[in-house]
Structure 1
Amino acid sequence: MAELSEAKAKSNKRWDDKNKDKKRIYRYRSYARKYVRDIASKDDLLELQQMIEERLKEL
């Protein structure tokens, strides 16, 4: 894969510095999806389903 140009790297760093919360949300969402798709057992998924239902009631 080609390396990033210096300008693109600086631009990415500026965005990262200005959007720490968004970056954290994107990372956690990615982890959650990976966990659900590839790692969680049936019991894990049932527990998560219950947690999601409770969270939806709160919103």
Structure 2
Amino acid sequence: MTEKKTSEAQRRATKKWEENNPERKRYLRYRSNARTFVRHWATQEDFEELEEIFKDNIKKR
């Protein structure tokens, strides 16, 4: 059996934080997914579409 790098106490603390902060956890997951997509898989067409979304969003603020 392989040894885990994270202590049992740390795993419990992480689980508790995730249970107490579901919206923050979701936000961080979505942000990470978006960044990964843009860095590794986005095409020129994707960039153009995202640019339009950003421009529209900035106008609304």
Give the structure-2-normalised TM-score: 0.86
CA root-mean-square deviation = 1.4
Task: Give, in angstroms, the shift of residue 20 of structure 1.
Answer: 0.6
Aligned length in residues: 59
One-letter identity of the residue aligned with 1:10: R
Gaps of 5+ in 1: none
Partner of 2:50: 48
Task: Give, in angstroms, the shift of residue 3 of structure 1.
Answer: 2.7
Structure 1 CA distance for aligned equivalents of residues 46 and 52 of structure 2: 10
- Point out the structure with the larger helix share: 1
Identity within the alignment, %: 36
| Aligned residue runs from structure 1 range 1-59, under 5 A | 2-59=4-61
Structure 1 CA distance for aligned equivalents of residues 39 and 33 of structure 2: 10
Structure 1 CA distance for aligned equivalents of residues 51 and 29 of structure 2: 21
Structure 2 CA distance for aligned equivalents of residues 4 and 17 of structure 1: 18
Give the structure-1-normalised TM-score: 0.89
Task: Give, in angstroms, the shift of residue 2 of structure 1.
Answer: 4.1
Q: Matched residue of 1:4: which SS? A: coil
